[in-house]
Structure 1
């Protein structure tokens, strides 16, 4: 089934995407894709190499602490 997977923190959608989720493997792939997208966004938002080096230690997990995962069926 197609499902929209959203990560929401403090009322702000950090990421949203539509994925094919039929089993645990499909859900895992959707979460992996979401993780990669958040990491890429973090790297793309840096203003310089120096800023990137200062923030590189921050994990995607740090961004997700306190976030909510919302899964909605897409018809």
Structure 2
């Protein structure tokens, strides 16, 4: 029976082998949208991800308090 510890050890060894061959960083960088993380507003973010800019709608409204007294419980309505 394979335990969780054995699976993590094998996964780490496979990741180390891929990294030593130079395969892991290239695959990770290909999936990393750098421009999306550098975006300063919603329009730039959506453009970097390949989507069109969101349109404003009066059909959806979100309500919430201006200042939350307790950060663990903030009532928000939609």
TM-score by length of 2: 0.30
**Rg larger for:** 2
**RCO higher in structure (CA 8 A, sep ≥6):** 1
